[in-house]
Amino acid sequence: MADLRHFLICTDYDGTFSNFGEVAEADAQAVRDFQRDGGFFTIASGRSPDFLWTKRDSFIPNAPIISINGTMINDPADMSVLAEYTLDDGASDVIRWVHDNTRTQAIAIYGPEREGRWFTREGADVRLRAHSEAADIETIIASVPRPWYKVIFVQEPEMTPEVMNACVTKWGGSYEFDRSWPMGIELHQKGSGKGACLDFIRRWMNDPELKIVGVGDYENDISLIRESDIGYAVGNADQAVKDVADRVTVRNTENAIAAIIRDLRAME
């Protein structure tokens, strides 16, 4: 049986550990048992630290938390900021270029409040307008104070690959771009991201025998899986995630985290 004291499970939240934002009790109990036996557990999510704090009735991480898609690392005890990777002023030019040259319908900027402030262009889908405010591009840029952590561009799913490729071609040398769901592209500073945060966590853990188990379902989890010692894709993961993972487990709705913990316990 493996010595769980040297394992850290670092899992994506939506579509991996949770289903529509809720964690199954079987997974939550498996995590509690894993921690009781010496294991470490944390989250790597596009969600804000404030949102993740509200879920402590289901799970309590005991290692640094990666939030806002790998642009912030939070202390598990109180969600204070251990490290952050903020966008430089040039991000405004990216926003202007995407707004003027693509069919992006909505833009969200994650500023000091650490929750996204959403804006839609005229004629945007009614579903996007429901939680957004209409504004011209310069108003959008001027209305959200610094620092910015990430920016989300939303367009119809069939347009997302084209917008993504254009962004990477023009701006990929300066910024990271991740697809976090079929309609969403996330912009963040070069050198940030879920996988990049693992270097900080390894130093914080200070265990030369530590094995990080990264778990995810979508393209913004690829760096996490690649930089982990053991990378898992859940059964419902995008094929690109499965292609880079060391192992593929069951779907998130079939208690994937509990299944991974069973795998770890069985290791020699």
Q: 189-203 pLDDT, tens per residue?
A: 999 999 999 999 999
Q: Is the per-residue pLDDT at 132 higher than 70?
A: no
pLDDT for 127 equals 59
| 120 within 8 A of 134, measured Cβ to Cβ | yes
C-alpha–C-alpha distance, residues 215 and 234, integer Å: 7
CATH code at 91-189: 3.30.1240.10
The DSSP string of 62-83 is SSPEEETTTTEEE-TTT--EEE
Percent of the chain with pLDDT over 90: 86
Q: Is the per-residue pLDDT at 25 higher than 70?
A: yes
Comparing CA positions, the residue from 17, 6, 33 lying closest to residue 255 is 17
pLDDT bucket at 137, cuts 50 / 70 / 90: confident
Mean model confidence pLDDT for the chain: 94
H or E, element range at 203: helix 194-205
pLDDT for 110 equals 96
The domain spans of the chain are 4-84+192-266, 91-189
Strands 175-181 and 184-189: antiparallel
Query: What's domain 4-84+192-266's superfamily in CATH?
Result: HAD superfamily/HAD-like (3.40.50.1000)
Q: Is the per-residue pLDDT at 231 higher than 80?
A: yes
Strands 133-134 and 81-84: unpaired
